[in-house]
């Protein structure tokens, strides 16, 4: 798994900065980019997603790092915290969707999430259950598999 913070991409296995080419897809396994500034939540997400059969291609903790990682890795799915200490997950997805379209699920601690996101955005509220995460991930991927348009997050 890779971590991206402050514009640097770090390979967790080696502790070294990754090259520009990023990680190759392993046997067609769907890849997920996690954008979360809380380490415990990021680790929980990674663990559950790996148990579901996904590869975590990178994690990012800031808006800028999320945009850079999405462009570099072009993941199959993104799990994105709505509010980051440095930036906004909503803003990051708006920037990313201008150039590439990646399915995403927002996670948020804000009980008023419906006021800030478009109605068709897939979002789950912290604390979330594993079944809620599983349903949200499947829903996001199904929407794009069926040729549906990705919602504008804001």
**Positions in the chain whose pLDDT score sits under 70:** 1-27, 112-116, 144-154
What confidence score (pLDDT) does residue 33 get?
A: 98
Residue at 20 is within a domain = no
**Domain with 112 in it:** 2-15+28-145
Helix axes 63-73, 89-99, angle to 10 degrees: 30
Residue at 80 is within a domain = yes
Residue at 22 is within a domain = no
Digit-coded pLDDT (tens) for 95-140? 999 999 899 999 988 876 556 677 778 999 989 999 999 999 999 9
Residue at 150 is within a domain = no
What confidence score (pLDDT) does residue 109 get?
A: 86
Residues whose CB falls within 8 Å of the CB of residue 86, separated by 6 or more in sequence, listed in order = 37, 61, 62, 63, 64
Task: For residue 81, list its beta bridge partners.
Answer: 107
How big is the chain by its Cα radius of gyration, in Å? 14
Residue at 152 is within a domain = no
Residue at 96 is within a domain = yes
Cis peptide before 77 (omega within 30 of 0): no
Number of domains in the chain: 1
Residue at 114 is within a domain = yes
Half-sphere exposure (Cβ direction) of 26: Cα atoms closer than 13 Å: 10
Residue at 128 is within a domain = yes
Residue 48's domain is classified under what CATH number?
Answer: 3.40.50.2300
């Amino acid at each position: 798994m890779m971590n991206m913070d402050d514009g640097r991409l770090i390979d967790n296995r080696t502790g070294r900065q990754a090259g520009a080419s990023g990680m190759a897809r392993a046997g067609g396994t769907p890849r997920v980019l996690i954008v979360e500034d809380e380490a415990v939540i990021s680790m929980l997400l990674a663990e559950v997603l790996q148990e579901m059969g996904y590869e975590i291609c990178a994690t990012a903790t800031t808006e800028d790092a999320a945009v850079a990682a999405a462009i570099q890795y072009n993941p199959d799915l993104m799990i994105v915290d709505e509010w980051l200490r440095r930036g906004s997950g909503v803003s990051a997805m708006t920037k990313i969707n201008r150039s590439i379209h990646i399915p995403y699920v927002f996670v948020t601690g804000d009980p008023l999430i419906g006021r800030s996101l478009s109605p068709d955005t897939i979002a789950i509220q912290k604390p979330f259950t594993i079944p809620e995460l599983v349903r949200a991930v499947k829903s996001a991927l199904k929407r794009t598999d069926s040729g549906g348009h990705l919602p504008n997050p804001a």
